[in-house]
Amino acid sequence: DIQMTQSPSSLSASVGDRVTITCRASQSISSYLNWYQQKPGKAPKLLIYAASSLQSGVPSRFSGSGSGTDFTLTISSLQPEDFATYYCQQSYSTPVTFGQGTRLEIK
């Protein structure tokens, strides 16, 4: 199974900050990498697919990059509604696997 490792596990930031979350795969997954946002008590929401494509309806302050084993999710200017937990997920091979999550908290 492909292991996905996110860093950091948690992060404190302020409204307006630029934030970057990293996801590393245990082997190359090309661009088969997705990012999700999850708020407490809610289902995950797809933000970015295929490493860098913005899902319809997602604000343009979210962006993704990377290929192979190293990927990043960037939020260009944090908004109050962005404080949540973020997960990466690889769809290169079965079983699909998720990172452990990055909890983004208000500083």
Partner 1 sequence: EVQLVESGGGLVKPGGSLRLSCAASGFTFSSYSMNWVRQAPGKGLEWVSSISSSSSYIYYADSVKGRFTISRDNAKNSLYLQMNSLRAEDTAVYYCARYDDYGGRFDYWGQGTLVTVSS
Strand-strand pairing, 102-106 and 10-13: parallel
The answer to whether 62 contacts partner 1 (rule: CB under 8 A) is no
Q: Which structure tokens are listed for 54?
A: 């913005």
Distance CA 6, CA 25 (A): 9
Q: Residue 17 or 63: which CB sits closer to partner 1?
A: 63
Asked if 19 contacts 11 with a C-beta cutoff of 8 angstroms, the reply is yes
Beta bridge partners of 20: 74
The answer to whether 86 contacts partner 1 (rule: CB under 8 A) is no
Helix (H, G, I), strand (E, B) or coil at 52: coil
The answer to whether 50 contacts partner 1 (rule: CB under 8 A) is yes
Q: Residue 43 or 80: which CB sits closer to partner 1?
A: 43
Q: Residue 15 or 50: which CB sits closer to partner 1?
A: 50
Site string for partner 1, 15-44 (x = CB under 8 A): -----------------x-x-x-x---xxx
User: CA angle, 57 as apex, 37 and 89 as ends, to 5°?
Assistant: 35
Contact set with partner 1 (CB under 8 A): 32, 34, 36, 38, 42-46, 49-50, 53, 55, 87, 89, 91-92, 94-101
